[in-house]
Structure 1
């Protein structure tokens, strides 16, 4: 589903372990951290992905509106 570089995945797994330790006072191993990360990516990832797409769409639409306004400002009156 996601193409994550090994170094990024290692950092993410470490963050999961830290989260569980700080928030729940639980020490989890590599396998548990990986399963949790996979769950988050599979179940919640698509929601964040779609939010990102929506935000990108809104930004592009805003840029197009600004471009249309800029082009209209360049028009010269005709007789």
Structure 2
């Protein structure tokens, strides 16, 4: 599954990569090279991050499903108990 990002997000990511190179590397990186680097990371590393996010969501949902019975549990056969309390 290809990871697509919006044009605006791509533009911001490229700007961020350019800034990172300006501030942390010996040589700056151009706009085209930053775009290519972003494409590489989206294709090569992006699926790793995406898959971990899916796993995290599955774990979170599973935990919530395990709690559903506690949140919505209703005791059975309660009709007569309300009358027994009055006596």
Q: Give TM class, smaller chain.
A: 0.7 to 0.9
Give CA deviations for 1:12-59 in whole Å, capped at 9, x if unaligned.
000011111122132111110011001100000000000000000011
5+ residue gaps in structure 1? none
Distance 1:18 1:25 in 2: 12
Partner secondary structure for residue 38 of structure 1: helix
CA RMSD of aligned residues (A): 1.5
Structure 1 stretches of at least 4 aligned residues deviating more than 3 Å after TM superposition: none
TM-score by length of 2: 0.78
Indicate the structure (1 or 2) with the bigger Cα radius of gyration.
Answer: 2
Partner secondary structure for residue 27 of structure 2: coil
- Normalized per residue, which structure has more helix? 1
Residues 1-79 of structure 1 correspond to what in structure 2 (within 5 A)? 1-72=2-73, 74-76=74-76
